[in-house]
Amino acid sequence: MLVVASANGRVGIREAMRVLREGGSALDAVETGCRLVESNPDDHSVGYSGIPNLLGVVELDASIMDGKTLAAGAVGAVKNFEHPISIARKVMEELPHVFLVGEGAERFAREAGFEEKDLLTPEAEEIRRRLLEGKGLGIYAERLKYLERIREFANLATDPERALGTVNFIARDREGNLAVGVSTSGWACKYPGRLGDSPVIGAGNYADNRYGAAACTGRGEMAIRKCTAYSAVMYMRMGASVEEAGRRAMEDLKDLVDPYAGAMSLICVDAQGNHAAFSNREGSRYVFMTDEMDEPEERPRILVT
């Protein structure tokens, strides 16, 4: 049994492993892990206390995929619900749909019994204020001239230290089933309604028991354009090792002309439970835990520049 996560998944990885040890499924484990990150007030890139959009509203995206059945669920631009990963799972399990966004996703969450909560914290609002003031964008934002200033703003907002983040979990349970969960509040100060790769199946997340699973963090616009998570799994299907598959999926991003030179990171697990992680930024790390380990271990990601 195995759980692999982006480094900010450290707060949830022990519980995710506990779920697997107690006989839970890979889906249960990734949902549990993501929920703990979504509730972490110190993580401003996921869930409660996520940095809001340009207008000061927290909008959350999440997706989940079952590698056994290839079932998937996703929600995007969800306001006032702390656990989009659980709403995504309900979409997968209870609706004949894969993807709900905005008011429809919120309506479904209410019908499914999820509690509403104000997600904006003073810390996250302060970060938004500083980001906007940092480029003198505040006045433009108020006048909704965002599009005119998007290039300058996006350079700021793609600084991974300040503006990006997402959590990835991949689990492999005792039956060898794979699942992947991804949750995010998206780009800091994003344009309202913007969706990144996290809720897009194949871009930010993919799992297929036969070959492997993959999930992304970073500049979602790039992962959407190259179907990065699906590519990594497809390379494994074509016979590549987990290291080779992830590296090739990352190298594919080089085809993109991207004026914002965005940070991108990827975690991958193959069907046997071998894992590897990648980033185009130095210093990026990931975390993993097997059922034989007492504590999770953090490792550097393979650098693919």
Active site residues: 166
Contact 284, 297 (CB under 8 A): no
73/229 Cα distance (integer angstroms) = 15
Contact 79, 214 (CB under 8 A): no
- CA dihedral defined by 174, 88, 162, 193, rounded to 10 degrees? 160
Tokens encoding 72: 């998937």
Nearer to ligand GLY, 8 or 217 (CB): 217
Shortest distance (Å) from residue 26 CB to ligand GLY: 22
Nearer to ligand GLY, 166 or 209 (CB): 166
Question: Residue 190 carries which DSSP code?
Answer: P
Helix (H, G, I), strand (E, B) or coil at 212: strand
Shortest distance (Å) from residue 224 CB to ligand GLY: 8
Nearer to ligand GLY, 53 or 209 (CB): 53
Nearer to ligand GLY, 80 or 265 (CB): 265
278: number of CA atoms within 13 Å, CB side? Answer: 25
Alpha-carbon 157 to chain mean position: 17
Q: Give the binding site for ligand GLY (CB under 6 A).
A: 166, 184, 186-187, 196-198, 204, 217-220
Amino acid identity, residue 119?
L
Instruction: Compute φ and ψ for 57, nearest 5 degrees.
Output: -110, 130
Nearer to ligand GLY, 57 or 139 (CB): 57
Shortest distance (Å) from residue 89 CB to ligand GLY: 19
Pairing of strands 275-279, 285-290: unpaired
Shortest distance (Å) from residue 77 CB to ligand GLY: 11
